[in-house]
Structure 1
Amino acid sequence: MPDWLNIALRSIGALVYLFLLTKLIGKRQIRQLTYIEYIVGITIGSIAAFMATEMDGPIFHSLISLTIFAVFPALSEWLSLKSKWYRDMMEGKSTIVIQDGKILENNLAKEKLTAEDLLGQLRVKNVFRVADVEFALMETSGELTVQLKTEQLPVTPSQLKLNVAPAKPPQTVIMDGKIMPIPLAALGKDQIWLETQLKKRNKTLQDVFLGQVDESGNLYLDFVSDAGGSKKKPQIQETYETLKQCLQDLEQQANAEQNSKLQAKYKDNAAKLEEILKQIQSQYKH
C-alpha cells in the first residue's frame, strides 16, 4: 500500500474514532471543561496525530491509549457526581471577590485576577461602579456572577403590581425571499395575509431578506440591500407606485360611497391624482 494512502486511511480512522470518543465529554464549551477534560483533550489530539502519521507503530496501540484517555474524564465526571469532596478538588469552588461593595483583595489574588481583570468582567455585565455590587462570585468556569444592591436593581412590573402578558418570541415568516409556512400558520395567518401586507408596502417577496411578526401581530421587514444583489428601485418609481396605489384606493372608495357629494369629491381627487400620474409617467419615460 502506498504511504500516502496509508496515512489517509489512518487519518480518517483517527477522526472517526475521536468523534466517537468526544461524545463521552458531552456538549460543553471550552470554558466549561474541567482541568482533566482540558488536559485529556490536548493529549488525545497528540495521540491521534501520532496514530495518523507514524506508520511503523501498530495502530492498535494508539487506539488503546486513546480509549484510556477518553474514558478517564467520563469516570472523573461520574466520581464528581457521587462525591462532593472529589468535585471540589477537581473543579474548585466559587470565590466571593466583592462583598457589600468592597473588593476582597485576598480572594482576588487567589483567583489570580488583577483589579483591571475584575473591572473588565464587571463591564461585561453592564456594571461600572463597584459600590453598586452587593456581591460578586468568581465561578469555577471562570465567569463572574454579579448581584447588584437592591436600590440599583431595575424596577420590574411585579414590583409595580402590573399585570403584564408573557412575552413571546417573534416568528420568522420570510427568509431569503421565501415564505416560511409553519411559523406563519402558528400565528394564525396565511399566505394571502402576508402578500396583502407586502402589497401595501409596494414590495414583493424577492425584495425581502427577512420578515418577522411580533406578538402584537406587527410585521417587520428587512429588505435586500444594494450590496445583496437586487437593485433598489429609483425614488421616482417608488413614488409613482405609491400614488398609483392611492388612486386605486380612491376609486374603490368612490364606488363604495353612498353619499353623492362625497362620491363626487372622491372622483374629483382621483381624476387629479390620475393626471399627476400621467405627468410623472411621461417625465419618467423621457
Structure 2
Amino acid sequence: MPGWVEVLLKTFVVIVLFFAITKLVGKKKVGDLGLFEFLTSITIAGLSAFIIIADRPFIHGIISILLIGLVLFLIDLFALKSKKFHDFTKGNGTVLIKDGKILEDNLKKEKLTTDELLSSLRQKNIFKYADVEFAILEATGDVSVFPKKEMLPLTPKLLNIKVAEEKEPYTVIQDGKIVEDSLGKSGKNRQWLQTELDKLGVLLENIYVGQVDSYGELTIDLYDDTITVPSPQQRPLLLAMLKKCAADLEGFALATDNKEAKEMFEKNKNKLNNAIKKVESYLK
C-alpha cells in the first residue's frame, strides 16, 4: 500500500475515534475543561499525530486513544455520582475576594498574583476590588465576580418599573427580498410593509435586513451604511397624542363654566393621565 494512502486511512480512523470520544464524554467548551481534561486532550492530539506518521503498529495507538477516552468517560460518570470524587478530579471554586477584601492566603494557594487578580476584575469591567462582594476562581481557571449591590447597574425591576415583554423579532426582509413566512407570522402583510417602506423613503431592493419587533415596528438595515435610516416613531407619536388629549381635556375644563361639564372633563383627564403613567415606559 502506498504511504500516502496509509496516512489517509489512518487519519480517517483517528477522526472517527475523535468523534466517538466526543460523543462519549459529552459536549464541553474549551473554557469548561478542567486541568486534567485539558492535558488529556493535548495528549490525545499529540498521540494521534504520532500514530498517523510513526512506523509503529497502528493498532497500538488506537488502543491508547480508546483507553484514554474510556478513562475520561468513567471519570465523568463517577463525578456525577460522587461530589467528593468530582471535587478531587475536577476541582472546586476558591474564594479570592469576600466582602471587598482580598484573601491573600487563597491567592497564594492558587499561585495567583495580585496583578493577575486585578486583571481578571478589569475584564469584568470592575476596576476597584473594594466594589466586589465576592470573587471566585472556578475550576476552569475563570474568575466569577459578583459586585456589591450598590455597584449593580439599575434595572427596571430594581426601580419597580414594569416593562413590556419582548418577543422574538421576525426577519421580514432579507437580501432585498420579502420573507413571506416570517411576514405572515408577524401578523403583517405586503401592503403594510410597502406602506412602512414608503414612510421611510427606501426601496425594497436596497434593504439588507428588515425586522418587525414585538411592538409591530419595522427596523431596517441598508446595504449602503452611509445612509441613516430614521428610527420607528409609532410609539413616541402615540405617547405624544395621549398627552395632547390629556392637555385638551384640562383646557376644556378650564374653559367651561358648567359645573357638570368641568367635573366630567377633570374626571376623564385624571383617568387618561393614570393610563399614560401605566404605558409611558412602553411607549418611550
TM value normalised by structure 1: 0.71
Q: 1:178 to 1:110 in 2, by over 3 A?
A: farther
Native 8 Å contact 1:14 1:51 kept in 2: no
Equivalent residue number for residue 212 of structure 2: 213
Q: Which amino acid aligns with 1:190?
A: N
Equivalent residue number for residue 51 of structure 2: 51
Between the aligned partners of 2:190 and 2:101, the Cα distance in structure 1 is: 59
Equivalent residue number for residue 271 of structure 2: none
| Residue pairs, 1:111-150, within 5 angstroms | 111-150=110-149
Equivalent residue number for residue 31 of structure 1: 31
Query: Deviation string for 1:77-132 (max 9, x for gaps)?
Result: 11111111111111222111111111111212222222222222222222222222
SS of the residue corresponding to residue 112 of structure 1 reads coil
Q: 1:185 to 1:27 in 2, by over 3 A?
A: farther
Between the aligned partners of 1:63 and 1:154, the Cα distance in structure 2 is: 53
SS of the residue corresponding to residue 14 of structure 1 reads helix
Query: Deviation string for 1:36-83 (max 9, x for gaps)?
Result: 3212211221222223223x4332222211111111111101111111
Between the aligned partners of 1:85 and 1:112, the Cα distance in structure 2 is: 23
> Does 2:199 align with 1:192?
no
Q: % of aligned pairs identical? A: 42
Equivalent residue number for residue 108 of structure 2: 109
Q: 1:200 to 1:165 in 2, by over 3 A?
A: closer
Native 8 Å contact 1:36 1:73 kept in 2: no
Between the aligned partners of 2:177 and 2:140, the Cα distance in structure 1 is: 42
Structure 2: gaps (5+ residues): 228-284
Q: Which amino acid aligns with 1:158?
A: K
Q: Which amino acid aligns with 1:143?
A: D
Equivalent residue number for residue 268 of structure 1: none
Query: Deviation string for 1:225-258 (max 9, x for gaps)?
Result: 37xxxxx89xxxxxxxxxxxxxxxxxxxxxxxxx
Offset at residue 136 of structure 1 (A):
1.4
Q: Which amino acid aligns with 1:208?
A: I
Native 8 Å contact 1:35 1:90 kept in 2: no
Q: 1:225 to 1:49 in 2, by over 3 A?
A: same
SS of the residue corresponding to residue 173 of structure 1 reads strand
Query: Deviation string for 1:146-175 (max 9, x for gaps)?
Result: 222222233333343333222334333323
Equivalent residue number for residue 248 of structure 1: none
Equivalent residue number for residue 21 of structure 1: 21
Q: 1:8 to 1:163 in 2, by over 3 A?
A: same
SS of the residue corresponding to residue 24 of structure 1 reads helix
Q: Which amino acid aligns with 1:101?
A: G
Between the aligned partners of 1:80 and 1:48, the Cα distance in structure 2 is: 27
| Residue pairs, 1:1-286, within 5 angstroms | 1-54=1-54, 56-225=55-224
Between the aligned partners of 1:168 and 1:120, the Cα distance in structure 2 is: 37
Query: Deviation string for 1:186-237 (max 9, x for gaps)?
Result: 32123333233223333233211222222222222111137xxxxx89xxxx
Q: Which amino acid aligns with 1:178?
A: K
Between the aligned partners of 1:207 and 1:144, the Cα distance in structure 2 is: 46
Q: Please, which moves more after superposition, 155-164 or 101-110?
A: 155-164
Between the aligned partners of 1:121 and 1:50, the Cα distance in structure 2 is: 37
